A and B are shown apart, each in its own frame.
Chain A
Amino acid sequence: MDQKTYTVLLVEDETSVSGVLGSALERAGYTVLTATDGEEGLRLALLKHPDVILADLVLPRMGGLDMIRSIRKDSWGVNAEIIILTNVLDVAALGEAMNQNTFFYMIKGDSSMGDIIARIRSRIDAREARPTSSP
Chain B
Amino acid sequence: MLHVFHVRIIHRGFSSQSLTRSADWYNGNVNTLGTEGTAVMGTTSVFFNFGPSFPLFLFAAIILIAVGIGAYVVVTTRARVEKRAAFLLGEIDAVTAKLNEAERIGKFGSFTWNFEHVTMSFWSEEMYVLSGLVPRKSVPSIDTLIAAIHEDDREGARVAWEDAQKKPGAFSFGYRTRAPNGEIRHVRIDGVATLRADKRPYSVQGVVHDVTREVEVDTAKSEFVSLASHQLKTPLTAVRWHCEGLLAGAAGPLMPDQTKYVLAIQEANQRMITMVNDLLNVSRIELNTFSQKPEEFDLRALAESVIAEQAPVAQEKRVSIQFSPSDVPHIVADKTMARMIFQNLISNAVKYTGSGGSVVCEMGTAGARQESVFVRVADTGIGIPKGEQGRVFEKLHRASNAEALVPDGTGLGLYVVKMIVEHAGGGITFESTEGKGTTFYVSLPLHWKNTEESTSSRGT
Seen from chain A, the residues whose Cβ lies within 8 Å of a Cβ on chain B are 14, 16-17, 20-21, 23-24, 27, 87-92, 94-95, 108-110, 112-114
Q: Does B250 contact A23, Cβ atoms closer than 8 Å?
A: yes
Closest beta carbon of chain B to A34's beta carbon, Å = 14
Contact mask B209-241 → A, CB, 8 Å, 1/0? Answer: 000000000000000000000100111111011
Tell which of B235, B289, B291 touches A16, judged by Cβ atoms closer than 8 Å: B235
Tell which of B233, B245, B458 touches A108, judged by Cβ atoms closer than 8 Å: B233
Tell me what chain B mostly uses at the interface: helix, strand, loop, or mixed.
helix
Q: Is B276 located at the chain interface by the 8 A CB criterion?
A: yes
Q: Is B273 located at the chain interface by the 8 A CB criterion?
A: yes
Q: Does B234 contact A108, Cβ atoms closer than 8 Å?
A: yes
Q: Does B238 contact A24, Cβ atoms closer than 8 Å?
A: no
28 A/B residue pairs, CB under 8 Å, sorted by A: A14-B238, A16-B242, A17-B234, A17-B237, A17-B238, A20-B238, A20-B245, A23-B245, A24-B241, A24-B245, A27-B248, A87-B230, A87-B233, A88-B230, A90-B291, A91-B290, A91-B291, A108-B233, A108-B237, A109-B240, A109-B273, A109-B276, A109-B277, A110-B273, A110-B277, A113-B241, A113-B244, A114-B244
> Which of A14, A95, A108, A109 is packed against the most chain B CB atoms within 10 Å?
A109
Q: Does A14 contact B241, Cβ atoms closer than 8 Å?
A: no
Closest to A107 in B: B233
Contact mask B435-460 → A, CB, 8 Å, 1/0? Answer: 00000000000000000000000110
Docked CA distance A88–B242 (Å) = 21
Docked CA distance A107–B234 (Å) = 10
Given A20-B242, A88-B230, A90-B289: A109 touches B237 (CB 8 Å cut-off): yes
A-B pairs with the 4 shortest C-beta distances? A16-B238, A87-B233, A109-B233, A108-B237
Tell me what chain A mostly uses at the interface: helix, strand, loop, or mixed.
helix
* B459 / chain A contacts, CB cutoff of 8 Å: 95
Docked CA distance A23–B251 (Å) = 10
* A87 / chain B contacts, CB cutoff of 8 Å: 230, 233-234, 237
Docked CA distance A110–B244 (Å) = 13
Closest beta carbon of chain B to A127's beta carbon, Å = 25
Tell which of A20, A24, A94 touches B291, judged by Cβ atoms closer than 8 Å: A94
Docked CA distance A94–B458 (Å) = 10
Docked CA distance A61–B333 (Å) = 39
Docked CA distance A109–B289 (Å) = 19
Other A-B pairs beyond A14-B238, A20-B242, A89-B280, 10, CB < 8 Å: A16-B238, A17-B238, A20-B238, A24-B248, A27-B248, A88-B230, A90-B291, A91-B290, A110-B273, A113-B241
Closest beta carbon of chain B to A7's beta carbon, Å = 20
Closest beta carbon of chain B to A104's beta carbon, Å = 15
Q: Does A95 contact B245, Cβ atoms closer than 8 Å?
A: no
Q: Does A24 contact B234, Cβ atoms closer than 8 Å?
A: no
Closest to B273 in A: A109
Closest beta carbon of chain A to B243's beta carbon, Å = 9
